Amino acid sequence: MESVNRLRHLSLPGSLALGVAVLLAAGFAVEASRVAARAAAAAALPVLAVTAYFTFSRGAWVALAALNALPPPFGSVGEDLPASFADATIPGRFDIRGGGRWIFDVAHNPDGMEVLVAALREERPARPLHALVGIRNDKEWRPMLERLLPEVDRLVLTVGPTVPAAQRWVVEDLSGWTDERVIGQPVVFEPDFANALELVQEGAATVLVTGSFHTVGDAMARLPAFAPSS
């Protein structure tokens, strides 16, 4: 809150104030993914509620400060949060679409995966639950897969087309992970992203797409209902 209060009293051009606010909000979003699970456990609250608190509450005050720093007709809106803030969502953070058929989550580190797993346990999506997972090879992907694997009925590992070549999984990286003996269920590595996207849907009531911004963005771009308008 100290950063937000300082921002409120700065005399900055609107565009600069907005830029500062965006950077602060991005930092708060990262912090939220790291602490939400621990805070939920400590406070005995639903993890989604805690995640929303850290992400929206702190981010909302930053956004409000940015609005109040803008010249008319964009600002000022006053000291209270606008009612429209209640309709805010975060694309790609336990983002449920298609009537519950699809869940998109950009969890890309162990803490983010911990929050995702807690959300899955709380929301209990329809089963069978299949997961399409692509994680860059420079991330801590092994503990992430270990955490997610018991929560899903099928795991399809893949490589998003937008992942830089040096950070892509190869078969040798995944030695042992495509063996059904890992947990007694199929774990498949399909490096062709389009094929993997088709494969993960077979027999699934719910499809989870996770592991990186690349994976979520590449999947949305290839699903007509969720592709961004050109």
Cβ atoms of residues 113 and 147 within 8 Å: yes
Lowest mean pLDDT, pick from 28-42, 136-150, 187-201: 28-42
Tokens coding 140:
């801590």
Q: For the beta carbon of residue 22, count every other beta carbon within 10 angstroms.
A: 14
The mean of the pLDDT values for the chain is 74
Per-residue confidence (pLDDT) for residue 58, from 0 to 100? 53
Q: Give yes or no for residue 53 having a pLDDT over 50.
A: no
Q: What is the pLDDT of residue 78?
A: 79
172-218 confidence digits (pLDDT tens): 777 767 655 455 566 888 999 999 999 999 999 999 999 999 999 99
In whole angstroms, give the CA distance from residue 151 to residue 131. 9
User: Rounded to an integer, what distance in angstroms lies between the CA atom of residue 169 and that of residue 137?
Assistant: 6
CA distance 141 to 12: 42
Q: Which of the residue ranges 54-58, 181-185, 218-222, 225-229 has the most confident prediction, judged by mean pLDDT?
A: 218-222
pLDDT at 66: 72
